[in-house]
């Protein structure tokens, strides 16, 4: 990463409008605000941006797509819904049109719950004066944390949590999904929650819709997909599936 930082620094022009790559933007903003940034800091920020901006969405898509392609009932239902608004390949639907499809929306929510790309604890330090929380007093300066993964796999909120089940997000007669909605927090919340959540969800909607509309799995070559649950979730080896064109 430090080698990449050196290259970015060498190629960076002074022109304010010529800094599209993330590293150049970091260097430029630092200079503008008069903040000195060491090579190590720039490298750490670069690695952070790569993990935050690519691995997360990639894991959500890999785990979600595997679950959809392994269950023909889910895949064909999603395909049928997409077909109603997307007849020819060139006639690409807009993002709002995709977001309004109930079953696709349910699949995206289930992808985010089931994959929980940032699974680890997100630590915070209690403020001056401490904190009253749920009947407990927590002294100031205490590190507290919660884990998205534990929330998303709580069976009281999400029955059969280890089953990929988009149906759970469909508010059919008599079913109240508001508690689930409240507890779906893949991007965390509050002032340090994910700043990339809109672009991440847009990527997932578009990628999932395009894949399922135009490609169907003819053979899943490796159904035993291994995922590692660490701070972030990862899929070593990826998903091996043979795809053919869908009508
Ligand atoms: C499914 C995809 C994603 C998930 C699940 C996700 C999840 C998260 C979570 C849980 C945090 C909060 C960490 C904390 O509280 O300490 C976070 C922060 C962050 N995310 Fe994402 N993220 C995703 C995609 C993205 C994308 C696409 C970008 C950039 C384009 C991005 C950029 C960031 C940045 C810069 C932060 C740090 C914000 C701060 O510290 O103020 N994320 N993300």
Q: Does the annotation place 194 within a ligand binding site?
A: yes
Report whether residue 57 contacts ligand 1, using a CB cutoff of 6 Å.
Answer: yes
Q: What's the gap in Å between 54 CA and the centre of ligand 1?
A: 10
> Is the pLDDT at 134 greater than 60, yes or no?
yes
Residue 100 lies in a domain: yes
Q: Does residue 199 have its Cβ closer than 6 Å to ligand 1?
A: yes
138 located within any domain: no
Residue 61 Cβ < 6 Å to ligand 1: no
Contact 156, 124 (CB under 8 A): no
| Count of domains observed in the chain | 1
Report ipTM for this prediction. Answer: 0.98
Q: What pLDDT score does 51 carry?
A: 76
Is residue 182 in a domain?
yes
Residue 13, pLDDT > 70, answer no
| 117 CA: nearest ligand 1 atom | 5
Compute, in angstroms, the gap from residue 90 CA to the centroid of ligand 1. 32
Identify the DSSP state of 60: H
Q: What average pLDDT score do residues 1-24 get?
A: 61
pLDDT band at 75 (very low <50, low <70, confident <90, very high): very high
* Residue having the nearest C-alpha atom to atom 17 of ligand 1: 194
Per-residue pLDDT reduced to its tens digit, 17-56? 444 466 777 777 788 888 878 888 887 877 777 778 888 9
Would you say 233 and 116 are in contact if contact means Cβ atoms under 8 Å apart? yes
For the chain, the average pLDDT equals 86
- Is there a domain that residue 125 lies in? no
- Domain contains 58: yes
Buried residues in 48-69 as b, exposed as e (16+ CB within 10 A): eeeebbebbbbbbbbbbbbbbb
- CA-to-CA distance for 51 and 153, rounded, in angstroms? 23
Is position 192 within any domain? yes
In a domain, 236, yes or no: yes
pLDDT digits (tens, 9 = 90+) for 144-162: 998 898 999 999 999 999 9
CA distance 218 to 244: 6
Is the Cβ atom of 125 under 6 angstroms away from ligand 1?
A: no
Give the separation between CA 102 and CA 100, rounded to whole angstroms: 6
CA distance 62 to 72: 17
Region for residue 193 given its phi and psi (left: phi exceeds 0; alpha: psi -120 to 50; beta: otherwise)? beta
Q: Using a 6 Å cutoff on CB, does residue 64 contact ligand 1?
A: no
In the predicted model, what is the mean pLDDT of residues 211-237? 77
Range of the domain at 215: 38-118+169-245
Q: Is the pLDDT of residue 104 over 90?
A: yes
At 12 the pLDDT is 62
For residue 151 the two structure tokens come to 């929330």
Residue 197 belongs to a domain with what CATH number?
A: 1.10.630.10
User: Which tokens belong to 63?
Assistant: 């785990």
Burial of residue 37 (CB within 10 Å: 0-12, 13-18, 19+) is middle
Cβ atoms of 197 and 165 within 8 Å: the answer is no
Please check whether residue 15 lies inside any domain of the structure. no
């Amino acid at each position: 990463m430090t080698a990449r930082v050196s290259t970015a620094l060498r190629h960076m022009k002074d022109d304010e409008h010529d800094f599209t790559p993330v590293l150049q933007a970091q260097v430029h903003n630092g200079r503008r605000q008069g903040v000195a940034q060491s090579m190590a800091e720039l490298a750490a920020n670069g690695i952070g941006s790569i993990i935050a901006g690519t691995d997360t969405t990639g894991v959500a898509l890999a785990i979600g797509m595997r679950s959809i392609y392994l269950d023909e009932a889910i895949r064909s239902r999603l395909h049928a819904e997409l077909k109603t608004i997307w007849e020819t390949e060139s006639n690409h639907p807009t993002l709002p049109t995709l977001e309004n499809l109930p079953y696709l929306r349910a699949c995206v929510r289930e992808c985010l719950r089931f994959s929980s790309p940032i699974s680890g604890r997100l630590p915070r330090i209690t403020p001056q004066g401490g904190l009253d929380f749920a009947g407990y007093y927590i002294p100031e300066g205490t590190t507290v944390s919660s884990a998205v993964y534990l929330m998303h796999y709580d069976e009281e909120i999400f029955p059969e949590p280890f089953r990929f089940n988009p149906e759970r997000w469909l508010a059919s007669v008599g079913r109240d999904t508001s508690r689930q909605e409240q507890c779906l927090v893949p991007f965390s919340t509050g002032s340090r929650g994910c700043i990339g959540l809109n672009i991440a969800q847009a990527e997932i909607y578009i990628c999932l819709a395009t894949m399922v509309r135009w490609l169907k799995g003819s053979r899943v070559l490796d159904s035993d997909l291994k995922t590692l649950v660490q701070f972030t979730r990862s899929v070593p080896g990826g998903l091996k599936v043979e795809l053919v064109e869908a009508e």
